């Protein structure tokens, strides 16, 4: 065996593949042991892939397969049939004892992972030599792709849990909530009525905050991020694809310090405002808020950076501004597919890291064409997958933007909860202070809007 053959041998074992197939033919009861872990791709040989597929289908449909029925299912004739019969008989001779089946499966899976890794590394190598790459983004992509290898194969492992193992921690959690009497089980938004409806932003949830331009999406999201970071031990990661980190900080200072945003941008601030500026800056400097303003971030890069922030800073909330400025994986045929890829990726991040992800989204122009400007779910731009993947869909809406002469609407905003997978839908009225780019809780009173 030369060096090249030795290298290839590390990526597959035909003898082990034959042993696993033989064990299935010899004893169909091994089916339940094997099929939960294996797919045809776990076999390197195309012939063994085909045989496993036929064995799988035969046992699934007819609950039985042996060498004779397997050969019949394959539909070979003539010399090809003779060769197939000899090969299938050799599988029986290769069959291990039932005790060894699990160890053989482990070998197959490990070699499949090595082949998968080899393919990923080959693609990475080709990209390096194909031309210029953005090294920072490329490193993020490499990290995400390598970690995805582990995720891909872990997801195929047995994932069931006994009812007892789930119930015990659930009861303990309920008892803890009963003793605390807070009513907020997730990350607080800082807005009382919204927290009441959501019970806070829940771990592993993807929350979409959508609205037309000038409604205050970014302002509201920044308010939530700051409220969460200042209310307790809640590190927050902000990914701003539209605004720079300086612009984000400017909005935070204006909102928290109640400093006129225009004065802050122009530098025309008064002495009393400067005192607010320094005290607010000192307050914000003590929070655990991490801002990444990389433009046109890919879903691969976001996943890698989110993982890193979780590991290094233990972030409890991600805010993304905004979804349509992201890039999906390569090879998407159109923008709808790309948005689908992005929304699914965001949900995956929320679930994997087990923190809420608050992602801002645009709305289509259809809103402007209707007499009633209040958004509905079908207004979500470019893809129905956003609605499908999201656990919560909220719309930020300010009717005063369309009816500037109506004094009853001035300074009012509304959060419309249009989808809530695990709770009620409805709307929450808020106060909006435009010059501070700030939303506030509204007093408990009725408005005739």
CB-neighbour burial class of residue 226 (10 A; exposed 0-12, middle 13-18, buried 19+): buried
3-state secondary structure of 115: helix
Torsion of CA 213, 218, 221, 226, to 10 degrees: -160
What's the count of helices (H) and strands (E) in the chain, helices before strands? 17, 9
One of 242, 273, 329, 399 is an active-site residue; which one? 242
Spell out the residues 6+ positions from residue 269 whose beta carbon is closer than 8 angstroms to its own.
Answer: 259, 260, 263, 277
Residue 86: both structure tokens together? 């000899």
DSSP 30: G
Active site residue 242: yes
Helix H, strand E, coil C: the string for 321-364 is ECHHHCECCCCCCCHHHHHHHHHHHHHHHHHHHCCCEEEEEEEC
CA distance 198 to 417: 9
CA distance 251 to 223: 9
CA distance 111 to 128: 26
The helix (H) or strand (E) run that includes residue 133 is none
Please give the positions annotated as active site.
242
């Amino acid at each position: 065996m030369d060096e090249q053959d030795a290298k290839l041998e590390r990526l597959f074992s035909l003898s082990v593949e034959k042993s696993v197939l033989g064990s299935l033919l010899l004893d169909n009861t091994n089916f339940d042991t094997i099929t939960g872990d294996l797919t045809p791709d776990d076999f390197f040989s195309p012939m063994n892939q085909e045989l496993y597929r036929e064995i799988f289908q035969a046992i699934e449909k007819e609950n039985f397969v042996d060498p004779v029925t397997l050969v019949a299912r394959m539909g070979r004739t003539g010399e090809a049939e003779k060769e197939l019969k000899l090969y299938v008989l050799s599988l029986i001779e290769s069959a291990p004892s039932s005790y060894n089946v699990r160890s053989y499966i482990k070998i197959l899976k490990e070699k499949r992972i090595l082949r998968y890794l080899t393919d990923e590394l080959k693609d990475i190598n080709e990209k390096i030599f194909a031309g210029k790459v953005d090294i920072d983004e490329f490193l993020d992509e490499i990290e995400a792709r390598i970690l995805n290898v582990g995720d891909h194969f872990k997801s195929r492992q047995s994932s069931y849990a006994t009812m007892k193992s789930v119930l015990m921690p659930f009861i303990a959690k309920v008892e803890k909530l009963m003793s605390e009497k807070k009513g907020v089980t997730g990350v607080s938004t800082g807005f009382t009525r919204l927290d009441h409806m959501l019970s806070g932003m829940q771990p592993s949830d993807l929350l979409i905050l959508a609205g037309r331009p000038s409604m205050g999406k970014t302002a509201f999201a920044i308010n939530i991020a700051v409220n969460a970071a200042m209310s307790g031990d809640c590190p927050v990661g902000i990914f701003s694809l539209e605004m720079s980190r300086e612009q984000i900080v400017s909005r935070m200072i204006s909102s928290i310090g109640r400093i006129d945003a225009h004065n802050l941008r122009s530098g025309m601030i008064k002495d009393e405002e400067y005192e607010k500026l320094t005290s607010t800056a000192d307050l914000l400097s003590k929070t655990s808020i991490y801002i990444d303003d990389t433009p046109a971030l890919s879903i691969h890069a976001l996943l890698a950076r989110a993982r890193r922030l979780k590991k290094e800073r233990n972030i409890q909330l991600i805010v993304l501004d905004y979804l349509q400025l992201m890039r999906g994986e390569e090879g998407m045929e159109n923008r709808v597919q790309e948005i689908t890829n992005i929304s699914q990726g965001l949900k995956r991040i929320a679930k994997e890291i087990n923190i809420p992800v608050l992602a801002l989204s645009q709305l289509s122009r259809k809103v402007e064409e209707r007499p009633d400007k209040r958004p509905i779910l079908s207004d979500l731009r470019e893809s129905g997958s956003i609605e499908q993947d999201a656990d919560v869909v909220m719309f930020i809406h300010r009717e005063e933007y369309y009816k500037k002469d109506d004094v009853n609407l001035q300074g009012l905003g509304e959060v419309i909860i249009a989808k809530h997978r695990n709770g009620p839908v409805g709307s929450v009225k808020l106060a909006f202070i435009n010059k501070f780019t700030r939303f506030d809780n509204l007093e408990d009173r009725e408005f005739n809007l």
